[in-house]
Structure 1
Amino acid sequence: MRACLRPVIAAMLAGSVLLTAPAATAAEPSDRSGGQGVAPERTVFGAVRAAGQMRMVSGNAASLLRNGVPGGKLVGMPPLGEPRSLAATGDEEELFDLTLLHTGRDGAPSTDHQPFIVKTDGESAWVDVPADGKLRLPRGEYMVSTKIYGPEGEVTDLVWPRLELTGDRTVDLDARLGQPITVTVPNPSATSFLAELVVNIPTDDGLGISLLSWSDSFERQYSAQLGPAGTLDGMTTRIGSQWSGGPADSPYAYRLAWFESGLMPTGFSRRVRPAELATVRAQYAVGTPGATGRLAAFARNDAVPSGGFVEDVDFALPTTRTEYYNAEPGVVWENNFGEVHADAGGLTNQLWGAGHYRPGRTYRETWNRGILGPAFSGIRTPDRKPEEVARTDDTINVNLPLYSDTVDRYSWPGVSTGTTSLYRDGELVAELPRLTGKFAVPAAKSGYRLRIDAQRGKPADLAMRTIVEWTFRSGGSPGRTTRLPASVVRFTPALDDRQTAPAGATVRFPVQVHRQPGTAGGPVRSLAVDVSYDDGKTWSQTEVTQIGDSGLVTLHHPQSIGYVSLRAAATDNAGNTVEQTVIRAYRLTSE
């Protein structure tokens, strides 16, 4: 199983972070985002595809990874921790018989099924179900679910969200109650490559339950909710379906997701019409010679929160593709593009963008084209950590993407190393051997110089060194987080899909200073740009026509092929400065 785009799995349900390696391993996160105090024992049941069928493993996100759910494909699931078993509680005060009877779709007693029970009131607990389906349990409320398998690969999901056990009772789990899940797309030659059914059920202690099913298609899959009619507050269901024209180099893909509140639907049928879809014509450039592209898409709906699955689609670079998205109200499509190169052991760069699409409209996007540089993207970051240069009490925090292709995309460096340094009144506070960091500083107001120096190794061929340096004054703000007056500079030359411009040409392109949102920095007072054609050994001042926070740069490219490096310096009217350098910003070609 190839590595997925996401080395970080963000827990959208809980706001916590689970880190995984591509080879289906997991590690405890070192920093839980948001301080939301989410307990780690959330019970998760996940589908594992083996021998052409799905089988379930239970436990938590870590045990799912250990038991075969591919690392990196699980998105938005909870942090580590083992679910509490009811058998270990010693609750013996009042017990009742609960008998589960499983029936297959052929009407005969099922011999192939996997039931799961979780106590949902009080302190939630996972119940071990014996093979004969006969249990003695304390009075209370329980989530009862099962998967019933048929001889032809049929899978029926049955869920009773809140079964009240107040006396002895028998529950009929009959696969014939399940109705088919079907999704069809406008292109009859398209093939489904991702089908997901994710059911999230609340528990009284706030931990919750996630029931996961993942496969390449909904063929022969059925569902039904059991128990009294009605909805359950806090229960959500996510149904996702993605299609393409083949396993690699497909010129198109369909990205579809639907969300239900309060229930799991009994059967689900959608015949998707073209008018329901947003059409995105996307161009993907290549920055590293010999690299290929990889794209994954995940639908987020903050009103109906749910984790889920992603599946990568690979394609040659450069290329143009058409992506079709259904655009349900409240849904944001989080698209993750990766440039992949074998010599890098995987990804040379990753770009994360948020698509706000509407049905019936056509959009045009470009990816991986333009000068890779720092950006305050303003989108929800994949690891949910603040994207900022900020101060909280007596700590200065730096977390800034350095290789974004546009101002509104987040980036993860694939082959980057470097340092982050902070100086106070000319004295070094600390130098950290990484591209993010936190620095403890005195409360007194002082002058600071903050510097990030990043290098990209081979096989990367552009943005080989990126330096950003800010100067500003800052003092303590007890109990508050204050964003510091930092800015970044964005250049937007006209480049082709191989990141090149013509040698020997005179070119003009925009340059703009972007202030960090929410900061007190004022308008740009001065803006200067230098250019180098020898990887920064020598620099020449360029002609810049400044208009407010922007300008127009004029360059006279040499006749020889090579690279263009750029350096900019800007000062605002409050005296805050930024100096930014990109070595090998783009290529020059004679063609």
Structure 2
Amino acid sequence: MLHSDGGRRTPWLRRTSAVVGIAAVVAAGFAPTAQADPVTGADSTHIVTLVTGDRVVVQDVGGRQTATVMPRPGSTGDFVNQRVDGDLYVVPATALPYLGTSLDRSLFDVSALIRDGVTDQVPVQVAGSAPGVRDGKVTAESGTAFGAALAAQAGRDAKNHFVTRGPLFGTASSVRLAAAGAPQQVHPNFPMHTVRILTVNGANTPADASLGVMNTDDGREFNGFPYSNGGEARVSVPSGDYGIVAWFPTFDSAGRVTSVRVVVQDFVVSGDQAVTIDASKATSQVTVSTPRPSNLVSETLEYVRSAQNMGSQGYSFGVGNGTAYVAPSTPSTVGGFHFNVQTHSESPAGAPSPYSYDLKIDNAGALGSNQHYKVTSDQLATLKENYHSDKPGRLEGSSRIIFLPYEFIGFGQFTPLTAPLQRTEYVLGGPDLSYADALLAGMATGGGFIPDTFRQYAARTTTPVDWLRGPLAPGLTSPAQGVTSWFCSACRRDDTIRVVLTPVLDSDGHGLYLDPPTTGTVSTSHFQLLSDGKALIDGKDVTGGEVAVPADQADYKIVYDQTRTAAWFHQSTVSHSEWTFGSAHSGAQTVPTGWACDPTTGKATDCSALPLVTASYQLNAGLDGTAPAGPDQVVVTFGHAPGGPNLPFAKGAVQVSFDGGATWTPTFQADLGGGRYRAQWTNPASVTGGDVALRVSATDVAGNSLTQSVLGAFTVPAAQS
């Protein structure tokens, strides 16, 4: 079985048919050699295109799920996230007033789209005509026209409070998903009652609202997201206890959310009845103060209800830098209740040293009347973030999703930044908060996706973080400290060897996915697993695979060649890596408890880590990937694949090349101990300047080795006359 690097089929990553949130099982799509058994590999990252041209990156990270939006060019950037019946919906706020009438909710069911393989283009049925629809499909490129037209319509309709609505875009009575979509809900066999939900903004003033309604005794009896058009929504439900959240957004003429009022309420159903939700009661403004002056960039409010027996509902609403108001509520008595506020704010323009704050604060049980949150310095952890870029002025996107203990799905959005950049980023510290960060090297195109694993930070600590610090080279990712759930990427279980390389790693261990080959973008690779001169796995554009091998001790060799070019990168475009290692039958589990080695069972029975050698680089180059002519150095730390023994190293070597790898120059080396070596050399001055290649090698005391070369590891600028 070959494991694809994902660059050749769907944008970025492979499709799967499994439910989002579960580590999916997929065949790689490349035929293995005759010796390799056809087995499957775990895959848990997907990119989904919405009909509005926005894209959503969905990941499973450490047993939790993240959904991060890449807004289309010109997007208002306001999104809502709804979770019900195991499905995840990501909806632009401009689409909310039209859901269930002219717009099909299934268009935004990200989970169902992944199950149906609808990830890079959306099949639609239009009653009439709609912008961006070509041959019955919408792509990320054509969807920008659909999204822009929808935002414009929301802006126009908001002027009269959505009272008079004609056809969508003036040309379509409905737009439906031309695919299976979400499964039909199972309706309980109980006596049903009609509940009229009346949404108003003061007495006798009907107002539209987006609703979340759940039976808090048992969510299986009712759990849904109706929309109140013209001030009324109707639901048919059995008797019982219910919780409701009502969101009352306002829009400007461009379709941007300017404010939202939130009302939560519990009620009991015993027969046909009416329930009134009044937006005018939401008078407590949500505000956050930070130790240093900062301007709000984005704010997301999240409502989470859990039923007493089974079922839960989540609804988050992104309001950008608009204002938010909530109505104080009485404590919930049936089921669980949480309401949290997440904000991203940045230093004022012109600050000599930029900084930001990412905060998430919880309300448990009820909403209080005081919604001002004051954050103090002793609550914060400090991240010294370095965003490296070998392309000056590169527009990147950063995302930080924050999890509270009760959350298993996190929602975020990429915020643009210009790299190279040094920024101090403050986050709340403590064991109850987990952070999942990600970076886009090419914000405009969605290229160069770099996710991070879960991390936790203690208050009053400082952590340096480097993104895309070179050289960028293939390798093996390692779990962050404290992470106990991990899928082994270089292991042997019984007599099956499984290796899956990370195509690109930076100096901090962030893994980069290869971009799909398009005009101006090249992503090619060749992976081989050899033993006794025989190819056990041999595949192009894959990063590894699985194969059955003899039980006896034998020597193995991995050869991996990679070429990658893209408009958002200049350096580290070509690499060659060779690993040698010995392996024999694994009859017991030696990897940590909580790890998984078998992609089918998710277990680690009889699993041992392979003794592959790893390399981590600390170049002396600047944030722009350049180093001046004259003395230079690199510190290389050699280690082993995670989960295995850290054997001592017998030798290590570092060489540099100033002619693209045609000739190699030895360096002056110092063994710093523990697998660390410092290599020093002199960069020659040149009128034209040029890229410098790097080659490293190491062998441990058991004979396992790594040799790796990277062309264009860094750049020496042209000498100034």
TM category, shorter: 0.7 to 0.9
Moved more, 244-253 or 574-583: 244-253
Q: Which amino acid aligns with 2:565?
A: G
Per the TM alignment, residue 586 of structure 1 is displaced from its structure 2 partner at its CA by: 1.4
Is the contact made by 1:56 and 1:114 (CA closer than 8 Å) also made in structure 2?
no
TM score, norm. by length of structure 1: 0.79
Q: Secondary structure at the match of 1:436?
A: strand
Please list, as runs of the form range in 1=range in 2, the aligned pairs for 1:297-308 lying within 5 A after superposition: 297-302=400-405, 304-308=407-411
C-alpha distance in 2 between matches for 1:379 and 1:11? 26
Deviates more, 1:418-427 or 1:356-365: 356-365
Q: Which of 534, 538, 551 is the aligned partner of 2:677?
A: 551
Superimposed CA distance per residue, residues 180-211 of structure 1 (whole angstroms, 9 cap, x where no aligned partner): 24123348974322111122333578663221
Match of 1:243 among 325, 336, 345: 345
Q: Any gaps of 5 or more consecutive residues in structure 2?
A: 1-10, 25-43, 66-82, 114-118, 125-137, 144-179, 253-257, 516-520, 588-604
Structure 1 residues 381 and 210, CA, compared in 2 at 3 Å: closer, same or farther? Answer: farther
Rounded to whole Å, the distance in 1 between the matches of 2:401 and 2:225 is 33
From 559, 562, 571, give the equivalent of 2:699. 571
2:640 corresponds to 1:515: yes
The answer to whether 1:313 aligns with 2:416 is: yes
Query: Does the 8 A contact of 2:302 with 2:314 survive in 1?
Result: yes
User: Are residue 456 (structure 1) and residue 560 (structure 2) matched?
Assistant: no
Kept in 2, the 8 Å contact 1:285–1:367? The answer is yes
Alignment check: 8 A CA contact 2:467 2:510 kept: no
Distance 1:35 1:289, change over 3 A: closer
SS in 2 for 1:500: coil
User: Mapping of 1:210-359 within 5 angstroms?
Assistant: 210-225=314-329, 229-230=332-333, 232-233=335-336, 235-244=337-346, 251-261=354-364, 268-289=371-392, 291-302=394-405, 304-315=407-418, 317-340=419-442, 345-348=445-448, 350=450, 352=452, 356-359=456-459
How many angstroms does 1:427 deviate by?
0.8
1:103 corresponds to which residue? 200
For residues 84 and 210 of structure 2, the distance between their equivalents in structure 1, rounded to whole angstroms, comes to 24
Query: 1:307-332 CA deviation, whole Å, 9 max, x = no partner?
Result: 222231222x3333332323354323
Higher relative contact order (CA 8 A, sep 6+): 2
CA distance in 1 between counterparts of 2:248 and 2:398 reads 33
Map of 1:209 onto structure 2: 313
Q: Is the 8 A contact 1:281 1:364 kept in 2?
A: yes
Q: Match of 1:433, as an amino acid?
A: K
**Is the CA contact (8 Å cut-off) linking 2:479 and 2:486 kept in structure 1?**
no
Query: Once structures 1 and 2 are overlaid, which stretch shifts more, 581-590 or 116-125?
Result: 116-125
Match of 2:191 in 1: 94
- Deviation digits for residues 268-326 of structure 1, max 9, x if unmatched? 321334554444443333223563333222223345444222231222x3333332323
C-alpha displacement at 1:216, in angstroms? 0.6
CA distance in 2, matches of 1:481, 1:133: 55
What's the offset of the Cα at 1:485?
Answer: 0.8
8 Å CA contact 1:532, 1:540 repeated in 2: yes
Q: Deviations over 1:437-460 (max 9, x none)?
A: 322223523432122222121443
State the alpha-carbon separation in 2 of the partners of residues 287 and 212 from structure 1. Answer: 37
Quote the RMSD (CA, aligned, Å).
4.5
1:134 Cα deviation from its structure 2 partner: 4.9
Match of 2:531 in 1: 424
1:406-555 alignment to 2 at 5 Å?
A: 406-414=507-515, 416-442=523-549, 444-445=551-552, 446-459=554-567, 460-477=569-586, 479-503=605-629, 505-520=630-645, 522-546=647-671, 547-555=673-681
Alpha-carbon deviations, 1:328-369, whole Å to 9, x = none? 543233332333387xx5534636376644445555544333
Residue 368 of structure 1 is matched in structure 2 by: 468
Aligned residue identity for 1:347: G
3-state SS in 2 of match to 1:50: helix
1:61 corresponds to which residue? 110
- Please name the residue that 2:8 is paired with: none
Q: Distance in 2 between matches of 1:14 and 1:261?
A: 28
User: 1:278 touches 1:327 (CA, 8 Å); kept in 2?
Assistant: yes
**Do 1:199 and 1:210's aligned partners in 2 also have CA atoms closer than 8 Å?**
yes
Q: Hey, what's the Cα distance between the residues in 1 that align with 2:433 and 2:541? A: 35
Take 2:277 and 2:449, find their aligned partners in 1: how far apart are those partners? 48
Q: What is residue 711 of structure 2 aligned with on the other side?
A: 583
Partner of residue 94, structure 2? 50
Residues 140, 513 of structure 1: alpha-carbon distance in 2 compared, 3 angstrom cutoff: same
Provide structure 1 residue ranges, at least 5 long, that are not aligned to the other structure: 72-79
Give me the whole-angstrom Cα distance separating, in 2, the residues matched to 1:54 and 1:6: 32
SS of residue matched to 1:369: coil
CA distance in 2, matches of 1:225, 1:15: 38
Instruction: Measure, in 2, the Cα distance between the counterparts of 1:369 and 1:312.
Output: 20
- Flag the 1:390–1:288 CA change in 2: closer, same or farther, 3 A: farther
Determine the structure 2 residue equivalent to 1:113: 209
Pairwise CA distance, 1:112:
1.9
Structure 2 counterpart of 1:378: 479
Question: Contact 2:354–2:423 at 8 Å: present in 1 too?
Answer: yes
State whether residues 212 and 224 of structure 2, in contact with CA within 8 Å, keep that contact through their aligned partners in structure 1.
yes
TM-aligned CA deviation for residue 490 of structure 1: 2.4
Distance 2:58 2:290 in 1: 43
8 Å CA contact 1:248–1:313 kept in 2: the answer is no
SS of equivalent to 1:221: strand
Contact (CA 8 Å) 1:294, 1:340: kept in 2 or not?
yes
Distance 1:125 1:380 in 2: 41
- In 2: Cα distance, 1:40 partner to 1:182 partner: 26
Give, in whole Å, the separation in 1 of the partners of 2:192 and 2:277.
22
Q: Which residue identity lines up with residue 702 of structure 2 in the other structure? A: A
Residue identity in the other structure for 2:198: L
Q: Residue 327 and residue 424 in structure 1: after superposition, are their counterparts in 2 closer, same or farther (change >3 A)?
A: same
* Shift of residue 412, structure 1, vs aligned partner: 3.1
Does 1:137 pair with 2:186?
no
- SS of the residue 1:309 aligns to: strand
Tell me whether 1:19 sits opposite 2:46 in the alignment.
yes
Distance 1:326 1:252 in 2: 14
- The number of equivalent residue pairs is 562
Instruction: Output the amino acid matched with 1:482.
Output: S
SS in 1 for 2:323: coil
Does the Cα contact within 8 Å between 2:618 and 2:635 map onto a contact in 1? Answer: yes
The 1-side partners of 2:665 and 2:88 are apart by: 59
Q: Is the 8 A contact 1:46 1:211 kept in 2?
A: no
Q: Deviations over 1:479-505 (max 9, x none)?
A: 3332211121223232122222233x3
Amino acid paired to 2:705? T
Q: Give distance in 2, aligned partners of 1:352 and 1:200.
A: 25
Letter in 1 for 2:704: N
1 CA distance for matches of 2:19 and 2:377?
Answer: 32
Is the alpha carbon distance of 1:150 and 1:495 closer, same or farther for their aligned partners in structure 2, counting shifts above 3 Å?
Answer: closer
Equivalent residues of 2:328, 2:366 under 8 A apart? no
Say which is worse superposed, 321-330 or 185-194, in terms of deviation: 185-194
- What are the Cα deviations for residues 425-474 of structure 1, in whole angstroms up to 9, with x where unaligned? 32111223234232222352343212222212144321121222222233
Residue 285 and residue 46 in structure 1: after superposition, are their counterparts in 2 closer, same or farther (change >3 A)? closer
Percent identity, please: 20
Distance 1:46 1:294 in 2: 19
1:499–1:587 CA contact under 8 A, matched in 2: yes
